[in-house]
Amino acid sequence: MKLIVGLGNPGKQYEKTRHNVGFRVIDALPQQPHVIYLKPDTFMNNSGTAVKAAMRYYKISLPDVLVVFDDKDLPLGTIRFRTKGSSGGHNGVQSIIDHLGSSQFARLKIGTAPADPNEVIHDTTDYVLGKFTKEEEQQLPDVIEQAAQKVKEWIRKTPTHPNV
């Protein structure tokens, strides 16, 4: 069994924000047997609560978890896979690390940084909770599709571990 977690915030007002790109990837994925897709109904900073509960309920091992989330430091459209690591300052990922007591889970980062490399993000919270520009929104379907393909590839190539 695999657990694919898309990070975001619940509620209509957050649907099209940069922070909800993980939810959008989950929405683009087809249902598959032995794969659980999770869009936590907690707010971003409490994502670890939902992830830990889902892992416990479905008896999923840590190596069978993939977390998909926004990265404000990567250019829009950049997709980066990591097998483990720090939170990189992402509060949702930090919540998962804190609740699981480990950073040994796979993650797929989706860049949401401004297209203009000279643009400075003055307030991180306002930026990640802000909506994409029209131009950025036009690029998103391709970005979401590429990320969904990476998730499918991870599911296909990663062996399933014994349930805990």
34 included as an active-site residue: no
DSSP tag of 163: P
Which is nearest to 81 in space by CA: 21, 153, 17, 139? Answer: 153
Encode 13-63 in three state secondary structure. Answer: HHCCEHHHHHHHHHHHCCCCCCEEEECCCCCHHHHHHHHHHHHHHHCCCHH
- The H or E element that residue 157 is part of is helix 134-157
Evaluate whether 82 touches 22 at the Cβ level (below 8 Å): no
Burial of 103 (0-12, 13-18, 19+ CB in 10 A): middle
The set of catalytic residues is 19
